Amino acid sequence: MGSTGRQGTDSLFSMDQGSVPINHHDNLDIMTAQLRTQFYYARFMIYRPFVYKALHFPELMTEEDQICCALAIQSACLWPLVLAPPKNKKRLVPHLFTWTQNFVGILLILRLTTENECLKKICNERVNRKDLEQTTTLMLEWIQDIKQVDGIAEWSWKMLGPLYSRHG
């Protein structure tokens, strides 16, 4: 397992970029990150109904439902697009508004993992809390940075800022 918690991504994506080689191709990083992020987004969408069930019908959650809910939340963590090097080249990412909207949805769910008792229990037992914190930080940084050029991010920050005011 690499720094992103996924096999095979050690050399491509990390929390911090470090030095960039002279012959480095920006578009390859961004396109690779987009493709890998789309995979995790699709996996998140498959398991997202279990998050809904945990929020609305916690008394009906089975062991298998809890596992699937945890898979949804794990699938939303540490997406390659929010890691370096793409996180340092946000303005080169196609369709910024789409990613911003996805990140807002994820951030709302991540916030609920600290407030909702059922989600909190599932995450404490089955999801790496450090991954949740790092994902939250990276996605908030994304939205805060991109709000200067993305109207959806600017609007979203007005909602997310107060929700995450204690997040540093």
Look at residue 5 and tell me if it is in a domain.
no
Residue with tokens 């995790």: 40
Which of 16, 11, 8, 26 has its CA nearest to residue 83? 16
Look at residue 61 and tell me if it is in a domain.
yes
pLDDT at position 12 is: 63
pLDDT at position 5 is: 43
- Name the domain count of the chain: 1
Residue count of the chain, please give it: 168
Look at residue 3 and tell me if it is in a domain.
no
Look at residue 42 and tell me if it is in a domain.
yes
Look at residue 10 and tell me if it is in a domain.
no
Percentage of the chain beyond pLDDT 70 is 84
- Contact between residue 110 and residue 127 where contact means Cβ atoms under 8 Å apart: no
Q: Which domain holds residue 92?
A: 26-163
Look at residue 141 and tell me if it is in a domain.
yes
Residue 4: pLDDT over 60: no
- Residue 161 structure tokens: 């800022």
Which of 12, 47, 3, 51 has its CA nearest to residue 32? 12
- Residue 6 structure tokens: 């996924």
Look at residue 12 and tell me if it is in a domain.
no
pLDDT at position 91 is: 85
Lowest-confidence segment of 16-30, 55-69, 151-165 by average pLDDT: 16-30
Look at residue 143 and tell me if it is in a domain.
yes
Average pLDDT over residues 113-139: 97
Q: What one-letter code names the amino acid at 60?
A: L
pTM for the model stands at 0.83
Distances in Å between the Cα of 6 and the Cα atoms of 12, 53, 147, 157 are 11, 27, 29, 29
- CA 136 and chain centroid, separation: 7
**Cβ neighbour number for residue 128 with a 10 Å cutoff:** 14
